[in-house]
Structure 1
Amino acid sequence: MRFTKKRYFFIFSLVLGISLASASFVATNDRLFEIAKNLDIYASVFKELNKYYVDEVDPQKAMQTSVDALLKSFDPYTVFYPEDELEDFLLMTTGKYQGIGIQLSEINQQHHITFIESDSPAEKAGLQIGDQLIAINDIRITSKIETDPAQLMKGAENAPLVIEIQRPGAQSTQKITLTRATVQIKNVSYFGIIQPGIGYIQLDEFNASAAKEMKSALVSLKQQGMKSLILDLRNNPGGLLTQAIDICNLFLPKGTKIVETRGKIEEWNKSYAGLNASFDTETPMVVLINKNSASAAEIVAGVLQDYDRAVIIGQKSYGKGLVQVTRDLPFHTKIKITTAKYYTPSGRCIQAVEYKNGSAITHADSTNRTFLTKNGRKVVEGGGITPDQVVLKSQQSSFIHALLKQYKIYLFALAYRIKNPSISSAAKFEFTQSDLVSFESWLIQSDFTFESTIQSQVKTLLAATEKDPAYATLNQSLLAAKAGEKITLHQEIQANQEELKQLISQEIILHYYLQKGVNQWANTHDPIIQAGESLLQKPNKFQSILTLK
């Protein structure tokens, strides 16, 4: 958001004018008076700062800071978008941007390509995950560069872009010329027949083309002989409400009530039903969710659960039952405001927390009401969608967290590819026990630093007791414990070997075959997908879950 001096004084005069005009309603409306009074105070504070503060006041920065602080006092989803961030807003809603289709990560003060969109200019030009970015259009990329390199990648469609990269294992850099294009981030990142008769769709987002992509995938799977379906909504953060409604409509008859929104402005309250003819109301379905399935993903899972249209498998979802509306503001800016909560057909709201002065207050489980599905099964409101069949994922250890935070699994995959120019197909790739031994040797030689939870807690206690004579005995005991509790790197690797093999396998496959390869591998290795396959192969058990009261 960029203001000239003239614009700033215009805005200041306008705010002050609104304040004075609103004050005339003091006798009849105390609320309007309070608004007017505080706007007047705010305008006066800014006027005095601008006039007398020792350094020059940046109006854009000051206003942005105050607006951000104001919105932070409500909830995390009420957000202001200045003009220079509108591209991010459009990406979120449409899934489109002009660029080359890569994601960058800063690792050890270097910018690495860590993800490449399928069918993007980057893939077509031969870029690889692991390539280090050296320059963009002759602008050298360093850790101190002021402009985000990702922004330098973007530009007008069909505009040329020259990047210089350093490929792992290569002796010299190389320059590659690309042509920017409109990159469409796919909602459906993968679909296919994963077992005879069992179709699988991974839906990652709910931007403007989600329902269209879903229907296209369903048509293809039907043509390939699909008799049952797994819809994977894990790690799906949600998106557009309209797309969630249209996707539910694919599996429910036209006219079926799908979701209801209720907020402060009664005329905005609305009940949404399916407007189109359904695509398939009979094919047995399993929907996969986890703790990162949110918003629109929870609407789809909750609606299909309420109508007993699908069995939900996985972990309890995130619990975001809030609806946002975007409003246009002056000077090409926007604000996204939480205006309502949504309710599934059974009448439940899955919102997990309430927000008071910006702080989240979690619902107590004892206060959550019980509702009934179409077949009379009990479902509970608040705190997200509870699966019909829970398949728990073990909590990530501090050791695994440290490896990911320091990009050690990514860096090992780089070293692995240098030594292995090719690997077996994604679906058949196996990270063996001997590979794990190689990983341990590589990790020992790297600069990996790790402190276990126990070591951290003992260190904290030692710091608290070493200077206090009253705790001298305890301090000696803690020192003895510290000497004996050291956990070796080998022990950590052995304790976490199954999860390590999965994470390293996926990272290595990503480097060779991109995300499509990771999906192909997961179909034969992911325990939650396998749980869905197993259930769909047992029709009687599947039906018993949907009819059990």
Structure 2
Amino acid sequence: MKLSNKIIISILALGLIGLVSFQIKKNDRYFEIIKNLDVFTTLYKELNTYYVDEINPTDIMETGIEAMLESLDPYTNFIPEDRIEDYRIMSTGQYAGIGTTMGKIENRHVVMMIFEGSPAETSGLKIGDELLEINSNPIEDYSIDEINKLLKGQIGTTVDLEIKRKGIKKPLKFTVSRESINIESVPYYGLIAEDIAYIRLTEFSSGAGSSVRSALVELKGKGAKKVILDLRGNPGGLLNESIEVSNVFIPKGLEVVSTKGKIEEWNKTYTANKNPVDVNIPLAVLISNNSASASEIVAGVMQDYDRGILVGQRSFGKGLVQATRPLSYNSQLKITTAKYYIPSGRCIQAIDYSHRNEDGSIGKIPDSLKSEFKTQAGRVVYDGGGVSPDYDVVNKGYAPITIQLMKKGFIFDFATEYYYEHEDMKPDPKVFSISDELYSEFTNWVSVKDYSYTTATEETIKELRETADSDKYFDFLEKEISALEKEIQEHKKEDLKVFQAEIKKALKEEIISRYHKRQGMIESSFENDEEVDEAIKLLNDKDSYRNLLQAAK
């Protein structure tokens, strides 16, 4: 036999062995699936037959499914039939209801926000109204989710509400029609400086791209020569809308994002397919720790093409693609099928999505776990988790006292009282401010309330006390620890004065919301918005803007 024939036969033999091996492995996998499904069903049968208490089949099955999915990433979820509507609202931004955002303050169910032009607004409901009954059913023991389900329904149907309003002793009754509610993805846009456009994009629901496009066209017509796109806190949404928003600023035909997963046929590269509005207008994109998914695609695309500067904090780090798969009995599985890759080739998914800081941000990622990529201009960028800003602005957040005043509803309630005492006033969000006199009125009002709180420093000292006690050092340190605790308590007495600037900011936004809803809140926030201020400075400084977009020499 010739050597060439032997080689051919050997290759065929190896191929056959490989095929048989693959088939065995495949059969082993199917056997494992069948075996474990059989174990699961027999286990459930034994539980149902012999367990001491009655078992709710739906509850125990959902618990089992959710525990199984919990071992995967946080975005693969089971959606039972009764939660399908909530998922549809989240993905489309549309639902049939009355147009309110409900919240719980202590034991009260309160209207926190009313959407402009909604049935709730036209019926006369107001922010601050306490909901007592829905269709003659008392709702004091209901959860917010249960209340929201009762408020939603078929278009054209009505819902009867009984509410308690500040300053009116007798409950008020309303009959409100349910209509299709479209949650605006761009709740505010306008000129915030002489020639700087500001566009706030809060979610990537259906129509987000066209809303950004039309907003920019309108603002350019009013003289805008620079633009701020605010994506802070935007959790993302529809993939196609991230492409549409990116396409507003980059040329037709450029790659926006690609997806890669297990099913190769599903892998796809998405490009901008429309003519842009403006590919040269100076652009600043604001991002934060909670800017996720579609927000990160847009921010990353602008960075990778050196199209604009990113200002703020590193984004959330969600680069996973979800698809929904139909299951039995109208339920669905939202399953992660791929990862996003932006034009530089980097993936924005956090390396470790299971361990995050309390605010949702990613902790420091070791350099050894990062890979280096380059933007179109040669700037060095990294993967490993989210998109890093070109210009960092530290978000200090609110002080513990401000958080507690908001959590307890005291800032909310004071704003409601102020509104009913000045109902005919129409304050301009741009110029309205909390005077020292009004702030003094607030501090007197809140002085009789219980807003006690524990700071992180106090928690640390408590841990020190416990550690010192277990280490037998407490007797030596007791005086110092007690002195520290006393000093902190003395300082806390001054917190209303020390942190008055941020408390005033929260009060101002809450009061303005009573008159101008969401748009007013956003507009009133510009006065003390460090990220917006820095973006304006950078856009107005041509050299600084240009330098941020150039590769280091």
> 1:355, 1:394 → 2: CA distance?
23
**Shift of residue 494, structure 1, vs aligned partner:** 2.7
Which residue of structure 2 lines up, in the alignment, with residue 112 of structure 1?
110
How far apart, CA to CA, are the structure 2 residues paired with 1:298 and 1:325? Answer: 18
Q: Does the residue aligned with 2:187 lie in a helix, a strand or coil?
A: strand
Aligned to 1:445: 448
Q: 2:532 — aligned with what?
A: 529
Cα distance in 2 for partners of 1:28, 1:199 equals 58
| Structure 1 residue 525, shift from structure 2 partner | 3.6
Structure 1 distance, partners of 2:368, 2:168, is 61
| Paired position in structure 1 for 2:270 | 272
Farther off after superposition, 257-266 or 180-189: 257-266
User: How far apart, in 2, do the equivalents of 1:181 and 1:356 lie?
Assistant: 39
Question: Of the candidates 402, 408, 428, which is equivalent to residue 425 of structure 1?
Answer: 428
CA distance in 1, matches of 2:170, 2:462: 46
State yes or no: 1:127 paired with 2:125: yes
1:545 paired residue number: 548
Q: Which moved more, 1:347-356 or 1:251-260?
A: 347-356
TM-score for both structures, normalised by structure 1 = 0.89
8 Å Cα contact 2:505/2:525 also seen in 1: no
Q: CA shift at 1:244, angstroms?
A: 0.5
User: Does the C-alpha gap of structure 1 residues 522 and 482 become closer, same or farther in structure 2, counting only changes over 3 Å?
Assistant: closer
CA offsets per residue over residues 51-78 of structure 1, 9 Å max, x none?
2222222111111110011111101100
User: How far, CA to CA, are the matches of 1:313 and 1:461 in structure 2?
Assistant: 38
Q: 1:509 to 1:72 in 2, by over 3 A?
A: same
Letter in 1 for 2:71: S
Look up the SS of the partner of 1:331 in the other structure.
helix
Deviation at residue 384 of structure 1 after TM alignment:
1.4
1:102-501 matched pairs, under 5 angstroms:
102-143=100-141, 148-354=146-352, 363-421=365-423, 422=425, 424-462=427-465, 471-475=474-478, 477-501=480-504
Question: Is the contact made by 1:244 and 1:296 (CA closer than 8 Å) also made in structure 2?
Answer: yes
1:67-82 to 2 correspondences below 5 Å = 67-82=65-80
| Inter-CA distance 464–279: structure 2 relative to 1 (3 Å threshold) | closer
Q: Report deviation, 1:367.
A: 2.1
Instruction: Give the CA deviation at 1:536.
Output: 2.1
Deviation by residue 1:154-194 (Cα, 9 ceiling, x = unmatched): 11111122212111122222112221100001111111122
Query: Which residue number corresponds to residue 520 of structure 2?
Result: 517
**Relative to 1, partners in 2 of residues 1:258 and 1:147: Cα closer, same or farther, differing over 3 Å?**
closer
Alpha-carbon contact 1:236-1:294 (below 8 Å) kept: yes
Distance 2:408 2:488 in 1: 24
**Which of 452-461 and 321-330 deviates more?**
452-461
d(CA) in 1 for partners of 2:60 and 2:479? Answer: 53
Q: Structure 1 residues 470, 376: closer, same or farther in 2, change over 3 A?
A: closer
Secondary structure at 1:376 match in 2: coil
Q: Distance in 1 between matches of 2:147 and 2:254?
A: 47
Q: Alignment partner of 1:33: what SS? A: helix
Q: 1:536 to 1:147 in 2, by over 3 A?
A: closer
* Number of residue equivalences: 525
Q: CA deviation at 1:129?
A: 0.8
- Compute the displacement of 1:295 (Å): 0.6
Superposition deviation, residue 275 in structure 1: 1.9
Mark the runs of 5 or more structure 1 residues left unpaired by the alignment: 1-24
Query: Does the Cα contact within 8 Å between 1:233 and 1:289 map onto a contact in 2?
Result: yes
2:365 and 2:384 in contact (8 A); partners too? yes
Deviations 1:460-516 (A, max 9, x none): 555666799774444455345434442354422233222222112111111221111
CA distance in 1 between counterparts of 2:368 and 2:177 reads 57
What secondary structure sits across from 2:66 in the alignment? helix
The CA deviation at 1:391 is 1.8
Instruction: Give the distance between the partners of 1:455 and 1:199, measured in 2 at CA.
Output: 44
Q: CA deviation at 1:138?
A: 1.5
SS in 1 for 2:191: strand
Aligned Cα root-mean-square deviation (Å):
2.5
SS of alignment partner, residue 195 of structure 1? coil
| Letter aligned with residue 343 of structure 1 | Y
Q: Following TM superposition, where does structure 1 have runs of at least 4 consecutive aligned residues deviating by more than 6 angstroms? A: 356-362, 464-470
Note the residue ranges of structure 2 that are not aligned, 5 or more in a row: 1-22
Question: How far does residue 356 in structure 1 lie from its aligned partner after superposition?
Answer: 7.6
Partner-residue secondary structure (3-state), 1:84: helix
Q: Which moved more, 1:183-192 or 1:498-507?
A: 498-507
TM-score (norm 2): 0.89
* Distance in 2 between residues matched to 1:533 and 1:362, nearest whole Å: 29
